[in-house]
Structure 1
C-alpha cells in the first residue's frame, strides 16, 4: 500500500539526521529535484508525501522490528537464543552503549519521521481547497501527519528519557522537539519531558480536530488518535484524560474485541475488528530477513525466544498461549518457545498492530485503579481476562494487589508488542533481566532503563547532552 520513497528535497537540515543518514529528503517527482517550498503543492503530492511518512514506520529500525524487540528483551518477556545472529545482543546483556547501531537506527528513523511529518503538515496547511469535500480530505491527511508526529515524539521520549513521573515536575531531560521545517542547519538541544508531552498532546488534539474518519485501514483515524491519546495520558499520569479517551474508543462502536474462539484471527487477519491502527506491509514492502517474522520464526533466525517465566503466568487453558509456539530450534534449544504473533513468518511481513482495543480496556483499568475506582477497574480487567479464558473468576483485588494484577494482565495480553520495559519503568518497578535460565534483577531507578543518545548525534550536535550513566 505504501510506496517506499527516497528523500531528496525536504528542506530540513539538522545535525540530528544530516550527518548520519543520506536518504532524509522526500522525493515527490522522480524526474527532478522538487524545490523544498513546492514539495507539497496539491492533493496528489500531499498524499504521496504522507505515504512516505507511513512507509518509515515499516522500517526494521522502528515498528518493523526494534521498537517491538528492545523493550521486551530489556525486561522479562524475551531472551536471545544460544544460537543467534548477534542482533540486539547488548540489549540482552544489559550493556547498551552510545555506539550501538540499533540505538542509532532508532534515533535516525524517528527523527526522519518527525522531519517529514512536519513537511507534510506545513505543505498541507497551505493548500487551498476547491470544495468542502476536498477540504475535508486535506484536513484528514494533515491530521494524520499530526498524529504521526505525536507518535514519533512519544516513542522518542519514552525510549531516550526517563518517564514523566521521574521528577515531580517532569523537568528532567527529554528529547529535541521538531515541530517545523528548517531551511538551515540546526543543533537542537534536549527539551524537558514536560514540554515534550505538551507538544505531543497539542499534536494529538489537532489531529483529532482535523480528522473525520473514525477508522481507516492502514492509516491514522480519529479512533487511532484517541487510542494514542489514552496511552500518552496514562504515561503522563493524567488518569482522567486516559479514562476519557479510552472510553471514547471503547464506546465508539467502531472496534470490537475478537471473540475467544476466534483469537487466532487477531494475528492472522488484517484490519480485524479489534485493530485500531496497524501498519500495512504489502508483498512489495517485504523486508525479508530484516522483518519481525524472520526474527522470531523458527524457519528464520528465531533469535529471540520466550522464557518460561512469562509462560508460567498463564493458566493452561488461556487462549493467549496459542500465540506462543513450542518446538525445537535446530542446533540450539531443543525445548524452545517461539513468538507466534507474526504468523506469516518468513513468507511475508505481517501488518504491524500499533493500537488495539484490548489495550484500551487495560489503560482504563489502570487509570480507574489509580483514581480509587476499583470496581470499574475490576470490570475492565475482567473483560480482557474473560476473552482469554471465559471461566475467569471475578476480580476482587484492590489497592496494590489490584495494580499488581493489572500489570500482570498487561504483561500477558501485550506480550511481545513492545510495552513491558515501559510498563515497569513508569510504575517504578524493578526489572528482571532473563538470559535463558539466568535471572538478574535491576532496581528502579536505573540509568540503563533508557537508551543512550547515539555517539554520532553527540559528535554532530554540540548542544546535545548524554543521558546519565553513559
Structure 2
C-alpha cells in the first residue's frame, strides 16, 4: 500500500501542472497501474484529489448567485468571464472542469483495464464491486462533462449533435474524435446498467457508490434527457434502496454549518458524496444569492434560515464553505419522481412526493400542503420551483435551465448588469454550451463548440 500511495502521489503531482491538458502529461501507465485489488481500491478511494469533485463553471453561470458591482473587478479572469457569459472565457488558460473530469475517466479506465488482467482471484465479489465503482465513476464524469461541453439533449437531434470524445482506454496517446450526443449519453446509461448489477446495496464510506447511487445517477441523467418515464423508474428504484429524509426542525438554524461537517461525516439523505471544485468566486464576501430566488422561500420554510446568512449560502450538505455538496441524495430523488409523476398526469402521486419532502423542511408548528385545486401545470410549476430552492448549489440548476428552455412555458432569460451594461443569456444561446479550451483543441484536433 505504501508503494501505490507513493506512486499515486507522484501521479497527482504531475497532474497539477496547468501548462498542458491532463491526458497529455500522464506518466507511463506501467508506473501507476497496480496489480492487486487493494491497489485498485486505493485509486478509486482517492476521492479528495480525483473522484470526489464536480465542476464549478456551471454554478457561476446558472444565475442563482450574483456578485456586487464592487466585487466583479476582483474576480479572477475566468470567473468574471463565465459570470458575464463572455465568448472567450479562458483567455488562453486551460479548463479545470474539463481536465478534472477526464482525469476521472482516465483512472476509471486504469482500473477497468487492470481488473481484466487479474486471473484466478477467488474474491469475485470484490472484483465486481471495483468494476462497478469504476463504471459508475466514468458515467458520472461523462455526465458532468456533457452538462457543460455538449448541447442540451434533444431526442430528435441527438444523433447528429456533437457529444464528447469518449475515451474508452487508458492509452494517453489515443485522441478520439467527438462522438454523437446520442452515443455519449448511451455510454453513460450502459455503464450504469452494468454498474448497478455489480455494486453492493450498502457500503461505507459514501464516497463509494451503491446500487442506490447507480439508480440515482441514472435518474439525474435521464431527467436531463427529458426521458421522464425512465427517470421516474430510476428514481423509484433508488428510493427503494434508500428513502430517508431529515427533519430540518432538528437542525440548528443559527449555526454557521447546520449540517454535519467534513467529507467523513454524512447526513442520512446522502447517497453518494461529491463536492464542487474549489473556486474563489463562491468564497468571496461579495457573492450573494439572487434576491428573486431568496424571496421564493416562505417564512415558514426552515431552508431560509438553514441555507442562508445575510444572503450568503451556508447550507451545504458538506457542512462547510469548503465542502459544497454536489452529490446524490434522497431529496433530489423525491423531486425527480414528483416531476415525472406530474408530467405523466399522475398528479396525486406528485403531490404526495412533494408533500412528504416539504413537511421535513417546514416549521413543525406549520402544516405544509399542496393545494388540491391546482391544475396539473401549476403542480409541475410548483415542483420545479421547489427543485430550484432545494437543490441550490448542487450543480443541477444549469442542467435544468438547458432542459427546460426547450419548453415554451419554462423558458428563462438570465440577466446581469455591470458598469451600466446589461448582459443576457437567452434560451438556445450558443453560450449555454461552454467552449473547449484551446490546449485541448490543439492536442486532440477535435471540433470546437460554436460560440
TM-score by length of 2: 0.83
SS at match of 2:359: helix
The residue aligned with 1:451 is: 434
The residue aligned with 2:60 is: 73
Maintained 8 Å contact 1:8/1:24:
no
Whether 1:467 aligns to 2:449 is yes
For 1:50-199, what aligned pairs fall within 5 Å after superposition? 50-52=44-46, 55-58=49-52, 62-63=53-54, 67=55, 69-81=56-68, 82-83=70-71, 85-87=74-76, 88-97=79-88, 99-100=90-91, 104-128=95-119, 130-131=121-122, 134-165=123-154, 167-182=156-171, 185-199=173-187
For 1:16-415, what aligned pairs fall within 5 Å after superposition? 19-21=20-22, 25=26, 35=30, 39-52=33-46, 55-58=49-52, 62-63=53-54, 67=55, 69-81=56-68, 82-83=70-71, 85-87=74-76, 88-97=79-88, 99-100=90-91, 104-128=95-119, 130-131=121-122, 134-165=123-154, 167-182=156-171, 185-217=173-205, 218-252=207-241, 254-263=242-251, 267-268=259-260, 270-279=265-274, 291=278, 296=282, 301-327=284-310, 337-342=311-316, 345=320, 349-350=322-323, 352-389=325-362, 391-396=367-372, 397-415=374-392
Matched residues in 2 for 1:151 and 1:102: separation?
25
**CA shift digits 1:7-62 (9 cap, x unpaired):** 559xxxxxxx9942389547xxxxxx7726x823112221222234663145xxx5
Deviation, 1:319, is 0.7
Matched residues in 2 for 1:230 and 1:439: separation?
36
The higher-RCO structure (CA 8 Å, 6+ apart) is 1
CA RMSD of aligned residues (A): 3.1
Relative distance call for 1:210 and 1:416 in structure 2 (3 A) is same
SS at match of 1:116: helix
SS at match of 2:272: strand
Matched residues in 2 for 1:228 and 1:104: separation?
24
TM-score by length of 1: 0.80
Matched residues in 1 for 2:337 and 2:352: separation?
10
Matched residues in 1 for 2:38 and 2:105: separation?
21
Deviation, 1:325, is 3.3
Matched residues in 2 for 1:418 and 1:272: separation?
19
Matched residues in 2 for 1:450 and 1:387: separation?
36
Moved more, 447-456 or 392-401: 392-401
Maintained 8 Å contact 1:275/1:355:
yes
Relative distance call for 1:110 and 1:40 in structure 2 (3 A) is same
Maintained 8 Å contact 2:259/2:319:
no
Matched residues in 2 for 1:271 and 1:326: separation?
22
Maintained 8 Å contact 2:106/2:170:
yes
**How many residue pairs align between the two structures?**
419
**CA shift digits 1:379-406 (9 cap, x unpaired):** 2122222222252222443343233222
Moved more, 151-160 or 427-436: 427-436
Q: Which segments of 5 or more consecutive residues in structure 2 lack a partner in the other structure?
A: 13-17, 406-410
**CA shift digits 1:243-268 (9 cap, x unpaired):** 1221122222x341001312458732
Q: Which segments of 5 or more consecutive residues in structure 1 lack a partner in the other structure?
A: 10-16, 27-32, 282-289, 328-336
SS at match of 1:388: coil
Deviation, 1:456, is 1.2
Relative distance call for 1:70 and 1:80 in structure 2 (3 A) is farther
The residue aligned with 2:394 is: 417
SS at match of 2:271: strand
SS at match of 1:433: strand
